[in-house]
Amino acid sequence: MKSYIKNLALLFIVVVTAILVFIYSGWYQIGADTRHNKLTYWALETLRDHSVARAASEIQRPADLESSARLLRGGPDYNEMCVSCHLAPGKSSTDFTKGLYPKPPDLTRKPLKMLNAKQLAQRRFWIIKHGIKASAMPSWAPNHDDERIWDMVAFIDRLPELTIEQYQVLTERGPGSSNHHH
Ligand code: HEC
């Protein structure tokens, strides 16, 4: 029994030392142009999806999410703050979408149907509000209240259906709609 504990302690020390050597060695490739291996990629994506799903599960989707008022308020914000990373009809790449890793998802495409409408709204609201650590997705909470974030969620929901012309109309900032609307 004693030697069993001794061996376990020894194994623990060896593992911790190996991890420290790796961290301090500089062998890890931190560049955005070096891709993760498949296992790391899977682990990070799974970690992200489950973390967001748990944190967002209690969020209440507003009843008027599909209203045109929200769509019209969300459009200009999207165009000013998000388009450089998440694209628009007729715009298929930018320096950000080419150079960032993880690559920002193209929000003009319909999402894969793994989530229902409620889960998708919760996920999008949560990610816009809190951001994603160690990726280029910022938290927008510091300068935008929840209502304003829901307006952007409403806009993103419709984005895959918009033509270039509709996008232009919906993202134009009318006089007086510059900042707060609630
Ligand atoms: C500088 C680039 C950048 C900007 C600007 C940006 N994002 Fe993102 N966003 C990202 C990246 C990168 C991810 C993916 C992060 C990941 O999966 O680890 C992401 C993820 C998302 C997602 C999650 C999509 C999904 O379901 O997987 C949403 C929604 C989103 N962003 C909305 C927005 C909105 C709305 C804005 C503007 C207010 C915005 N983003 C601005 C880079 C950006």
Tell whether ligand 1 has an atom less than 6 A from the beta carbon of residue 121.
Answer: no
C-alpha of residue 82 to centroid of ligand 1, in Å: 7
Q: Which two tokens stand for residue 131?
A: 């951001």
**52 to each of 16, 120, 154, 155, how far by Cα in Å?**
30, 11, 19, 21
Answer with the residue of higher pLDDT: 139 or 111: 139
pLDDT value at residue 180: 52
Distance of CA 11 to the CA centre of its chain: 38
| Residue located via tokens 């899977």 | 42
Tens digit of each residue's pLDDT (9 = 90 or more) over 128-178: 999 999 999 999 999 999 999 999 999 999 999 999 999 999 999 876 555
pLDDT value at residue 182: 47
**28 to each of 1, 22, 60, 94, 99, how far by Cα in Å?**
38, 7, 41, 28, 19
C-alpha of residue 20 to centroid of ligand 1, in Å: 33
pLDDT value at residue 113: 80
Gyration radius of the chain's alpha carbons: 22
Per-residue pLDDT, averaged over 35-47, amounts to: 96
